Structure 1
Amino acid sequence: MRVHTMLLGACSVLAFTGIASAETLTIATVNNGDMIRMQQLTDDFKKQNPDIDLEWVTLEENVLRQRVTTDIATNGGQYDVLTIGNYEVPIWAKQNWLMPLDDMPEGYDKADLLPAIAGGLSTDGTLYAAPFYGESAMVMYRKDLAEKAGVTISDQSTWDEIKKAAAAMTDKDAGIYGICLRGKAGWGENMAFLGAMSNSYGARWFDMNWEPQFDSPEWKATLTDYLDLMENYGPPGASSNGFNENLALFQQGKCGMWIDATVAASFVTDPDESTVADKVGFALFPEKGDIGNRGNWLWSWNLAIPASTTKGDAAKAFVAWATSKHYTDLVAEKEGWRAAPPGTRKSLYDNPDYQKAAPFAEMTLESINAVNTKKPSVQEIPYTGAQFVSIPEFQGIGTAVGQQFSAAVAGSSSAEQALSNAQQLTKREMMKAGYIK
């Protein structure tokens, strides 16, 4: 704790009684670009809240999830503010692990939050986390390479288009790969992409009796096509590539296409960071045939307060600052409107300055609004979710399945073996959890 020493006489000392020491908030967050930017802008928060200090624990995505999950489940109390996804929020809220955010400061304007995003962070109408940024998924592609290769990627893209374009744009001698996709194992890494891809292929994780479905033709088609794209048109070492690795590859001009989170759009079009900033086009997440499903990817990184914290008021002040309209304006002032945290507030997409600065704005909003978390698959399912399944067991199951599929990308197993292993391990875990006998 930082102690303020007053040297201005007894009267001054008495005047500062009660704020003699600052509260220090320990904030666990992910090492994504938007979160790094938030840390760089916290002088603004400090000016408004001089008696609150901030201590950051910034972690890679898989490590963050593991640590905050362990901490909150064991009531460890290491953190005062958590960066968590819309997967965790409703599950943890039902366990009474999170502080409700039903009394945010005046002017916060919860009504301005996009309904699709706020709905995933609420239980019985009460908000349990505040969205920092929200996303769906879309195709980002090099317009110059597509034109040179003589291929077209339509706004309403299809997997057939994607495969044809990946083949045409690949020039391995020049270090250009037709497509970059997540291969790093993790329920929020490769399985986020593959979960969305499987939805677009008509697959489902479980049938109505909670039986795993990795032995279905839809999952076989999903994984077979994914591995084909990665092996023939993807970069080497793709089994180690997650969001940040593929972002770097695309910014360096090494990817013809990248299908991933819409939040990446502001980074691939940043002229200070991306060598291809003025050459990027956007399309909706691909559709397979006439299935009528474009992946149903919906994710938000959110700030939540563990119910165990003793610094609830200070934590709420920080969460309100970081997810406010004021913070959006601050980013726009410092970095330009293109860099504003996307996917959380209606007012951002109504702002003509943002629309002008962000050529991806309309596509992002269309992608988010199209998601149906109540029915992510076209088949009958017993679960809700998006590119994930909203059950507590999914975190472990999804990561284990992701390891099988990542091994297939690395060439350690075939699609058939990976799917068989996924089926067996998922069935075993679902039996252990009591979903099936």
Structure 2
Amino acid sequence: MARSLVSLPKTMSHREDFEVVDYRISRRTLLTGTAAAGALSLTGLPARAEVNWKKYAGTKLEVILAKGPRGDNLQKNIKEFTELTGIQVEAEQIPEQQQRQKVVIEFTSGRPSFDVVHLSYHVQKRQFEKAGWLADMTPFMKDPSLTAPDLVESDFSAAGLQYAKNDKGQMLSLPWSVDYFILYYNKELFQKKGVAVPKTLDEMVAAAEKLTDPKEGTYGFVGRGLRNANMALWTNFFLNYGGEFLDDKRNILTDGPEAIAATKLYQTLLTKSAPPGVAGFNWMESMASFTQGRSAMWIDGVGWAPPLEDPAASRVVGKVGYTVVPAGPKGHYSSTYGDGIGIAAASKNKEAAYLLCQWVVSKQQGARLLQAGGGVPFRSSILNDPEIQKGVKMPPEWLQSVIESGKISKLGLPVVVPVAEFRDIVGAALTATLSGADPAAELKKANDQFRPILERSEKA
């Protein structure tokens, strides 16, 4: 089945971003030297002689990707994988929401058209596990004829392994890219108003009020107000107020005092210090406001940095500050999300598909992604490599915010099957507060509505 390549919209275009000079591995480096030193690993280092990258030459793989920097990076460099292995790859990118729907429909049919799937852990982990849709990679990782010596579990972060493994300890995917939430701020607006960069949520609220000047068309804060999408922002506040999504018996806990306090802060920020119409904002609208210099602060994922530093798409190039999400009264966490790459259990080309998954999370590919600012690999060997760090094109503050966020990361959504319903229901409650609804009443209504959905799911 032929796949069409879908390009990124202009605001997310990276054009030259993935042309990494500092850590580029040439085709010749990858393909030569096998006679003397055995096959090369995916990082360009000598691998065990048993690894045979050409074992499945001639195989054709179908890949379904969520549109974004990760898929763009894969498609841009996929010829290298084909030259290394002889495996042909047809890959398509689909906008995130449509991709998630399509994947579920095809998996449910029992005959998915793809061998390899790009999955969003924070939305699909438990659903995929319970349905048995992904192949177990554990035996592949233990097979020296399939796995380069540098690909080991211990190189992935704890959050990555938590996402990738099921309750039985089986590796059902390879962790690809982690998305920490950070605080973006406009240095010029801060200096103009004489405001200090906030270290706490209370300081952030106060700063946002000082930075808001409707007559000048500038606002102190912008963020996701749109139902469902707004949960990714709100959970940063919820976690830092000491919130936990589930108790030991897996009962939902989003109507307690922590949730109410977090929602009041969310309500205050988006009604007193945000641009008009923010209740309909997703990340795209939030980014537009920030890149146009109309909003002083924005909390969102680390992967949105490249457009902010792109002169063709941004008016704030060189003016952006990057730092960790401010601390709350009962914690200091960065709401963390992530995606992975897995093999369809129904695929007839599992070993070849595994080689592709391994290449996707390789040091070479991870370096490109990190250096372009398009994502953060889960692998410590990439993040901590001084040579790779030298090639990062984003400002040093961005890389520092990434490293520091990793130290305070916490999963940003409950690991439950009906996570989409959770985001819809609680997200609707949050949006309602932007029209003046009472946070406590809205959260109680949402919790009561979601509880039976979760209970049915857990019993299934």
Partner-residue secondary structure (3-state), 2:376: coil
Q: Structure 1: how far apart are the matches of 2:206 and 2:436?
A: 26
- Which residue of 1 is the match for residue 342 of structure 2? 304
Partner-residue secondary structure (3-state), 2:245: coil
Q: Is the 8 A contact 2:225 2:281 kept in 1?
A: yes
Question: Are residues 268 and 107 of structure 1, via their aligned partners in 2, closer, same or farther at CA, if it must alter by over 3 Å?
Answer: farther
Determine which of 379, 384, 389 is the counterpart of 1:355.
Answer: 389
Q: Structure 2: how far apart are the matches of 1:201 and 1:31?
A: 33
Q: Structure 1: how far apart are the matches of 2:277 and 2:113?
A: 35
- Which residue of 1 is the match for residue 165 of structure 2? 122
In the alignment, structure 1 residue 23 sits paired with structure 2 residue 60: yes
Task: Note the alpha carbon deviations across 1:167-203, whole angstroms, 9 max, x for none.
Answer: 12223344332111112222xx221222232111123
Q: Is the 8 A contact 2:120 2:339 kept in 1?
A: yes
Q: Structure 2: how far apart are the matches of 1:22 and 1:394?
A: 36
- Which residue of 1 is the match for residue 430 of structure 2? 405
Question: Are residues 149 and 76 of structure 1, via their aligned partners in 2, closer, same or farther at CA, if it must alter by over 3 Å?
Answer: farther
AA in 2 matched with 1:136: Y
Unpaired runs of 5+ residues, structure 1, are: 3-17, 373-385
AA in 2 matched with 1:114: S
The 5 Å alignment of 1:17-416 reads: 23-25=60-62, 27-60=63-96, 62-87=97-122, 88-89=124-125, 92-93=128-129, 95-102=131-138, 103-104=140-141, 105-107=147-149, 109-110=151-152, 111-123=154-166, 124-154=168-198, 157-186=199-228, 189-208=229-248, 210-271=250-311, 273-289=313-329, 291=330, 293-330=331-368, 337-339=371-373, 341-356=375-390, 357=392, 358=394, 359=396, 360-371=398-409, 386-409=411-434, 411=435, 413-416=437-440
**Which TM-score applies when normalising by structure 1?**
0.79
Task: Note the alpha carbon deviations across 1:68-105, whole angstroms, 9 max, x for none.
Answer: 23433443413322221233335533543211223253
Question: Are residues 37 and 434 of structure 1, via their aligned partners in 2, closer, same or farther at CA, if it must alter by over 3 Å?
Answer: closer
Question: Are residues 316 and 194 of structure 1, via their aligned partners in 2, closer, same or farther at CA, if it must alter by over 3 Å?
Answer: same
Q: Is the 8 A contact 1:180 1:235 kept in 2?
A: yes
AA in 2 matched with 1:200: N
Aligned Cα RMSD in Å?
Answer: 3.0
Task: Note the alpha carbon deviations across 1:135-178, whole angstroms, 9 max, x for none.
Answer: 22221111121111111114xx2111111121122233443321
Question: Are residues 236 and 138 of structure 1, via their aligned partners in 2, closer, same or farther at CA, if it must alter by over 3 Å?
Answer: same
Question: Are residues 224 and 327 of structure 1, via their aligned partners in 2, closer, same or farther at CA, if it must alter by over 3 Å?
Answer: same
- Which residue of 1 is the match for residue 34 of structure 2? none
Question: Are residues 324 and 273 of structure 1, via their aligned partners in 2, closer, same or farther at CA, if it must alter by over 3 Å?
Answer: farther
- Which residue of 2 is the match for residue 13 of structure 1? none
Identity %: 23
Q: Is the 8 A contact 2:236 2:335 kept in 1?
A: yes
Determine which of 404, 407, 422 is the counterpart of 2:446.
Answer: 422
Partner-residue secondary structure (3-state), 1:392: coil
State the 1:42 CA deviation: 2.6
**Which TM-score applies when normalising by structure 2?**
0.76
Q: Structure 1: how far apart are the matches of 2:164 and 2:292?
A: 35
- Which residue of 1 is the match for residue 144 of structure 2? none
Unpaired runs of 5+ residues, structure 2, are: 3-54, 142-146
